[in-house]
Structure formats: C-alpha cells, structure tokens
Homo-oligomer: A and B are copies of this chain.
Amino acid sequence: MNISDYMQQVGKQARDASVEIARASSGDKQKALLAIADSLEAASNDIQAANDIDIKNAEAKGLASALVDRLALNAERIAGMIDGVRQIAGLSDPIGAITDLEHRPSGIQVGKMRVPLGVIGIIYESRPAVTADAAALCLKAGNAVILRGGSEAINSNQAIAKCIRQALAQVGLPETAVQVLETTDRAAVGELITQTKYVDVIVPRGGKGLIERISNEARVPVIKHLDGICHTYIDDAADVDKAVKVAVNAKTQRYGTCNTMETLLIAEGIAEQVLPPLVKAYQAAGVELRGCEQTLKLYPDLVAATEEDWGTEYLAPILSVKIVTDMQAAMAHIREYSSQHTDVIVTENWTRAQQFLAEVDSSSVMVNASSRFADGFEYGLGAEIGISTDKIHARGPVGVLGLTSQKYIVLGNGHIRG
C-alpha cells in the first residue's frame, strides 16, 4: 500500500463524510451512537478475542507491564466503554444553536450559529477504549474523525471500528465518518497531521514525546497538553484541615494522571502548622518528598529538591515541596514552572483568592479544591477528548463544545451596505 495515496483517500473520504454528518439531525446522531453501543455489546466476545491477540503480541515483544495493562480489555472495561458511548448519546446536541442574534443599526440581524469543526484527527497510544470514546464525541459534535491508535492495539481497534461502521451503515450515515487507520506505518501520521485540505484539527493523546513530535511537525492546528505540572499553594490564611485534606488528595488520589499535584508551595507563616500532618500523611502513603532548603531545615531527612524537580511531572509518588514567603512568591514560582494545566490556592482570604483566580494563567485555577477535579466528567462536560493547555480555541478539559466552532449568520430583507 502506498501510504500517501491511502491517506489521500482517507482524508477525502473523511471530508466528504463530514458534510453528511454535519447536517445529520440530532435524532440520527443519537440513533447512531446508541447503535454503536449496541453493536459493541453484541460483538464483545470478538473485541475481547482481538484484544487477546494484541496482548499476546505485546507480551511476546516484551512490552512493559504498565503498557500491557493499559492495552488490556476485560468484561468490565468493555462495559465501561459501551456505557461511555451511551452517556455521550445522552448529551445535548450543540450543533445549530443560534446565540446573540441582535439587530444592528443597519437593519440586519447578526448572530452566531454553532457548527462542527469538520474533520478531527486523533492520534493516541495504547488504550483501545479511546477508539469508541473519541469516535462518539466527534460524531456527537457533527464531525467526521480519523483515528490512529497505537500499533500494539491494532486488532482491538479494528474490531471496535468494525462495530462502529456497522452501526453507522445501519442508521444510514456514511461509514467513512469514522475511519480507524488500517496501517501502523508511522508515515501515515506524518501525512495526517499535514493534510490541511482534509483535516481541521489534530488531537494527540499520549506521552509527552508523541505530543511534542506531533506539535512540531503538524501543519493542521493541534489541541493538546504537553505536561501536567500542577501546583497547590497553601496560603498563610488557609484553614489547616482543608489544606491538609486538599493537598493529600491532590497528590495521592492517583499518581499517574495529569491533574495530580507535582509541587506543593507553602507560605512560610503556616509551614510549621501544615507540614507535620502533611509529612505524616505523605510518608504513610509512601510518597517521597523532595524539599527546598527551608523545608530541609524543618525536615533534614528529606531529599533535597533540585532545579530540575520544579520542572518535572513525576507521574509517580514523588512530591517537591517549597516554602515561599507569600502568595506573590507562589504566583511567581507558578509563572516560572507551571505547565498551565491546573493550579490551586488554599486560603480563607477573599482578596487573595480573587487575585489568584484572576492572575494565575492556567487552564484551570482552583480555590480550596483538589487539582484532581480537573477533568471533563467532574466539570460536567460529560466526556472529554483531552485537556488543552493551549490558549487558542479551547482551554482545559475539551468536551463536545470544544469540537465545534461558531460561524456568523446574517439575516436581512434585501439589505445593502451604504
């Protein structure tokens, strides 16, 4: 297969299908999503069998056990995937909504209409459930989608793709509205991210290396996040109990997620009150603490944090701890090291809370809450295609709305410009 020709065909098919999906009624899109869920349910055994092949191949190749775990499906995960598609079916349809329709002095009415983006390209790694999840979100928002999963998941992804195609055909929508690439050739990714004629946006999901490579080479706009270096700042006006609860949860509730705290900043005025219960809780949970100089004065047994620590997303039970003079110093540290994902202040002081909310330039800024809340389900988006730390188009968890745009509509009655 000539990869370039194949990708031209995939791109053109997606563009053509996007026109039909864009004008599909809410009812038809809902029917399609429910049919996809039913089709996945009916084919659960086939999907499991395909996944078993992927797992065998992965183990034979010596893939790391964490990666094998992410790749693996079981009855519970398949049921979860199907449930996710049904939840997306139940979301309200954003397409066609008209807002801000106002009369202008010239006599025309000007408003905005919400429309699909067109064709979304999604590049992801090992989790096969993303195939169903991402396809469902894109369809809900009236988009066609081209999916490129990890090569190790090719059998699982193709089994899921088959169900989606069947369901689309069954409700009379184009099967090519969801295309899962049949090649694992890396050149296909290079083509996909430069097809400005056919693809409107690329969403890469995966490790930092993948996302960096794609951002550097893409000609199509990219919605992405690179890092989750999230901070919690405990202000000297914090409630100690809330501070300890929030800071422990932000680190220990899950270690491998992008909204997990990686650096804890503590105002020096409250350090001696909050550090004892915090150190106790973290050590009980098995979290390695890496402290700044001032922290080490209080806890000489801790590892010393290096400059590198402040810029590291551990994704592991490690936490860097820094004592700062005040909120201004905390915000300066955050400006320097935050990946602009999620940053938190714990304080009872109204004015400082307001200032932190207004000035910290991250996609989510929180007061007195755990950074672990930063995701689409917790925010009520229903599901997310990813989290954006970019400023353009969509910031933070990207749900159905993030996969749409707004065009202007103008209604006249023979109006001309004078």
Interface size on A (CB < 8 Å)? Answer: 68
Assess whether B408 is in contact with A368, with CB atoms less than 8 Å apart: no
Known A-B contacts A96-B358, A408-B365; the reply to A221 vs B219 at CB < 8 A is no
Q: Which residues of B contact A250 (CB under 8 A)?
A: 416
> B405 and A395: CB pair below 8 A?
yes
The answer, yes or no, to whether A154 is at the interface (CB within 8 Å) is: no
A415 in contact with B108 (CB, 8 Å): no
Q: Closest CB of chain B to A162's CB: distance in Å?
A: 30
Copies in the complex: 2
Asked if A415 meets B368 with Cβ closer than 8 Å, knowing A117-B392, A406-B395, the reply is yes
Whether the pair A245, B416 counts as a contact (CB closer than 8 A) is: yes
Chain B residues whose C-beta falls within 8 Å of the C-beta of A115 in the assembled complex = 361
Among the 9-residue stretches A5-13, A280-288, A371-379, the one with 4 or more Cβ atoms under 8 Å from chain B is A371-379
**A390 contacts the other chain (CB 8 A):** yes
17 intermolecular pairs with C-beta atoms under 8 Å apart: A22-B359, A106-B378, A110-B378, A115-B361, A221-B221, A245-B416, A249-B416, A249-B417, A357-B409, A364-B409, A365-B407, A366-B412, A368-B411, A368-B415, A369-B410, A395-B406, A395-B407
Does A392 lie within 8 Å of B23, measured CB to CB? no
Q: Which of A365-398 contact B (CB under 8 A)?
A: 365-370, 372-374, 378-380, 390-393, 395-397
Q: Evaluate contact between A408 and B395: CB separation under 8 angstroms.
A: yes
Given A249-B416, A373-B415, A391-B405, 20 new contacts (CB under 8 A)? A96-B358, A104-B379, A106-B378, A118-B391, A246-B416, A253-B416, A346-B414, A364-B408, A365-B410, A367-B410, A368-B413, A369-B411, A370-B417, A372-B416, A372-B417, A373-B410, A374-B408, A392-B393, A396-B408, A397-B408
Shortest Cβ gap from A262 to chain B (Å): 16
Which interface residue of A113, A248, A357, A408 has the most chain B CB atoms within 10 A?
A408
**C-alpha gap A358/B24 in the complex (Å):** 11
Tell which of B118, B248, B410 touches A364, judged by Cβ atoms closer than 8 Å. Answer: B410
Nearest CB on B from A389, distance (A): 10
Q: Are B246 and A118 in contact (CB under 8 A)?
A: no
Q: Which residues on A are within 8 Å of B, measured CB to CB?
A: 19, 22-23, 96, 102, 104, 106, 108, 110, 113, 115, 117-118, 200-201, 216, 219, 221, 239, 241-242, 245-246, 248-250, 253, 335, 346, 357-359, 361-370, 372-374, 378-380, 390-393, 395-397, 405-417
Q: How far is the CA of A102 from the CA of B380 in the complex (A)?
A: 9
- In the assembled complex, the CB of A371 is this many whole angstroms from the nearest CB of chain B, namely 9
CA–CA, A391 to B249, complex, Å? 39
Name the B residues within 8 Å of A23 (CB-CB): 358-359
> In the complex, are the beta carbons of A413 and B362 less than 8 A apart?
no
